[in-house]
Amino acid sequence: MQITFPDDEAAFDGANLTVRFLARVDGEPVVCAITAEALEDHFGAESALEAALMAAFDRGRQRIRSVCAEALDQNNGEGVVLHSGLFRVEGMEPDRGAAA
């Protein structure tokens, strides 16, 4: 399975307190997201406000993509929501998902 991440802009989803972004799995777009909690816990977001979450997403983009690629690989390419605990799971290595 080939997993890449286009340089499309991420989008704040205030209703679900997530930041959504696209992955491509074997060329097909897959919507993924990361929770506000994960961005606060692991990437320094100071609050669940849009500006803070988007800045944290930008700071952590490489690691977020890496963990997302691992999660996509494990669930056969279905969209994922990255929760805080997933960033503590062994095997979610920071070197995956670097392809843009």
- In a domain? residue 99: no
Tokens, residue 77: 């390419």
Render pLDDT for 36-56 as a digit per residue (tens, 0 to 9).
Answer: 999 999 999 999 999 999 999
For 14, counting Cβ atoms within 10 Å of its Cβ (0-12 exposed, 13-18 middle, 19+ buried), the class is exposed
Task: Give the domain range for residue 63.
Answer: 3-88
pTM for the structure as a whole: 0.87
Q: Which whole number is the average pLDDT over 52-62?
A: 97
Regarding predicted confidence, which is higher, 89 or 35? 35
Centroid of chain to Cα 72: 11
Cβ distance 30 to 77 under 8 Å?
A: yes
CATH of the domain at 29: 3.30.160.140
Cα Rg of the chain (Å, integer): 12
Q: Is residue 93 part of a domain?
A: no
